[in-house]
Amino acid sequence: MTGANHGIGAATAVALARRGCAVLCTYLRLDDPVDPGAPPGYRDHRARDASQVMAELQSAGAGRRAVAVEADLSDPGTPARLFDVAEERLGPVDILVNNATGWLADTFAPPVADRLGRPLQRVTAATWEQQFKVDTMAAALLISEFARRHVARGAGWGRIIGLTSGDGLGFPEEVSYGAAKAAQTNYTMSAALELAPWGVTANMVHPPVTDTGWVTDQVRDYVAGRPDLFHVATPEDVADVITYLASDTARLITANTITLR
The pLDDT tens digits of the residues spanning 24-49 come to: 999 998 765 565 555 656 555 556 78
Q: What is the largest CA-CA distance in the chain?
A: 53
Catalytic residue (one of 27, 42, 177, 187): 177
Question: Cα dist. 91→21, 40, 67, 243 in Å?
Answer: 11, 39, 12, 19
Alpha helices in the chain (DSSP H): 7-18, 40-47, 51-59, 78-89, 125-132, 139-152, 175-195, 217-224, 235-245
Per-residue pLDDT, averaged over 130-148, amounts to 97
At residue 230, the pLDDT reads 80
The CATH class of the 7-259 domain is alpha beta
Burial class of residue 260 in the structure, from the number of CB atoms within 10 Å of its CB (0-12 exposed, 13-18 middle, 19+ buried): middle
Strand, helix or coil at 13? Answer: helix
The pLDDT tens digits of the residues spanning 77-106 come to: 999 999 999 999 999 999 999 999 887 889
Q: Is 244 a catalytic residue?
A: no
